[in-house]
Structure 1
């Protein structure tokens, strides 16, 4: 057991450009304040000053970093490589410590002192910081992909707005506005004026080079729709044509970038050797998000801990022996959302009338017949999925569906 009086506590408030450190002893006495820039050359200065104070007092330095996986990741990696003990302090803990004071104040020095106080009070329960490059790199790729997807939605909405004016019936001949053929069409023919003197045969030959299955009847249908729409040309049409062409070019580039990132993510997934994509409905993108949000699976001793981390395990609120379990609003909400949408896909029944996953669907219906609401039944599905994902990541096994009893895991 670590004895609190043997350590010099260094609480770190981390920012993009600068870090602030407060040195304290086990009696919460502030000993010194150090501010450094966020770069390795400054890390050496920090360590030298801390070691000097620690040597003078005969103590061992221990560092507490508020969110060691964000702005402080570089410092955390550097300190660990130098052999120092680094604890990860959740920002919510420092926030609660700050609010506990009779008069709340906020500045970098006080924030760092709150981190140091949390480090002192919860020394034996705080997790060690383990900022691994593999999980961090994968999370960066996932974040980059999510950003591009959101940009694509914004670009598509803008393209819909422009095309709906020039081609009111566009949805009849191009259901997906961002398909390869459609994007080529919007670039070359941003408005009906560009189709002037163009025959269906010429349009067919041109678009066949983009999509080999493009037919003459489709080209004639486009021409008929344009003719039936009437005159849609307005003033400053050239400028609006430019906007349409620009949006189409951006969407093409966005699709190319997503394809490159997907390829890079697949390389990273081969390094982890997890087989999450063998789960029905789990794509490469979903698997990468799960791994990035969960991190090192070894930090969770059981599936229950993972469920609690994801905010899926219920929390009991009681007093005087009375109370009830309620759904948790805490935990990793990104991970919670991933398990939720995966659970929805498991119990979805398509138009064919056959469930996507009969085992999960039967379990879902059984929970509803037991008196649970649909939302509560979905939570049960999410909890089973946590067991499955945890077991597959822990043992690096493939998905194996099994028919089992209600009280056991439905699949593993």
Structure 2
């Protein structure tokens, strides 16, 4: 539908289905009319062509699926240019795709259409903000996680090698210094044993370097977390890596209307008895609460499990239950 010259053009929603090397967009008006569609590359030429195409609609908002996942690399290229970007959860777009197409077939065109529908119909979508401090925290906390994964992998390899050199192997909590002391006492005589000891010593040297990287990463994360003004480091059991991960995953805390919504997002809110709770205490049943790897609140006293009463031990006969059915047999 075309507007007259003296009428303000409507605000359009550009739904985007992002990929690594290409994106598919669909431009939709508030009355769900499709006024544009295209597929562009994510390189410099493709990104510039997409912006030139989108400038046909001055009043626009980008609805991108997975702004904290596969769509992050495109969303954070649009934010410095002054573009307005909202995050479309994958669950919403998947549900919209089923109702929009009737069959739920997943293609780039149907994904772009369903994402645009979510941007037009749904209110309260999270706006993506350009926060350099948060991006820096995310980058460093991911690096710190990879250092921990490398440490676990090297320790497992070292345990396997020491088990072949020393009967019984080494203890579970093994450090690089302890492994070096164990290997210093080993004197293999065959070629395989000597090669095994040499490879184990190389792992010990790599572990010692990894400890230095881990120490520097923890110090850098500690300084950045303290610069945010949070008090997470004052809590018992939360280190710099855990505090940084919490800040990165939560993001903008103002996107939660209340603390009850935040508790529901983290999985610490009490669940109704009718949904997934125990009928006696009203507390969430085991395995029903979504785990986020962090504890943000403590259960109330009403959720405390009452002590089990002592069951009287008697030698009398128990009440007779349902009579057993007799099987047919010889």
Q: Give the TM-score normalised by structure 2.
A: 0.76
Report what 1:49 is aligned to: 53
Report what 1:26 is aligned to: 30
* 8 Å Cα contact 1:8-1:24 kept in structure 2: yes
Alpha carbons of structure 1 residues 238 and 70: separation in structure 2 relative to 1, 3 Å = same
CA distance, structure 2, for counterparts of residue 305 and residue 286 of structure 1: 21
Asked whether 1:184 is paired with 2:180, we answer yes
Asked whether 1:312 is paired with 2:268, we answer yes
Shift of 1:67: 1.6
Equivalent residue of 2:103, what SS?
Answer: coil
CA distance, structure 2, for counterparts of residue 317 and residue 307 of structure 1: 17
* 8 Å Cα contact 1:183-1:252 kept in structure 2: no
Alpha carbons of structure 1 residues 32 and 169: separation in structure 2 relative to 1, 3 Å = same
Report what 2:231 is aligned to: 275
* 8 Å Cα contact 1:69-1:131 kept in structure 2: no
CA distance, structure 1, for counterparts of residue 44 and residue 222 of structure 2: 32
Equivalent residue of 2:128, what SS?
Answer: coil
Q: Deviations over 1:295-347 (max 9, x none)?
A: 2223333221211111222454869xxx988569586x4xx22218x97xxxx
CA distance, structure 1, for counterparts of residue 10 and residue 87 of structure 2: 19
Tell me which of 334, 338, 344 is aligned to 2:294.
338
CA distance, structure 1, for counterparts of residue 38 and residue 154 of structure 2: 46
Q: Give the TM-score normalised by structure 1.
A: 0.62
Q: Which runs of 5+ in 1 are unaligned?
A: 195-232, 344-359, 372-412
* 8 Å Cα contact 2:165-2:193 kept in structure 1: no
RMSD: 3.3
Q: Deviations over 1:171-195 (max 9, x none)?
A: 4xx674224x224336x63x7216x
Residue correspondence of structure 1 range 216-235 to structure 2 within 5 A? none
CA distance, structure 2, for counterparts of residue 272 and residue 240 of structure 1: 47
Q: Deviations over 1:125-171 (max 9, x none)?
A: 21212242212221221122122212211211111111122112554
Report what 1:248 is aligned to: 204
Q: Which runs of 5+ in 2 are unaligned?
A: 1-8, 309-330
Shift of 1:118: 0.7
Count of residues paired in the alignment:
293
Report what 1:369 is aligned to: 306
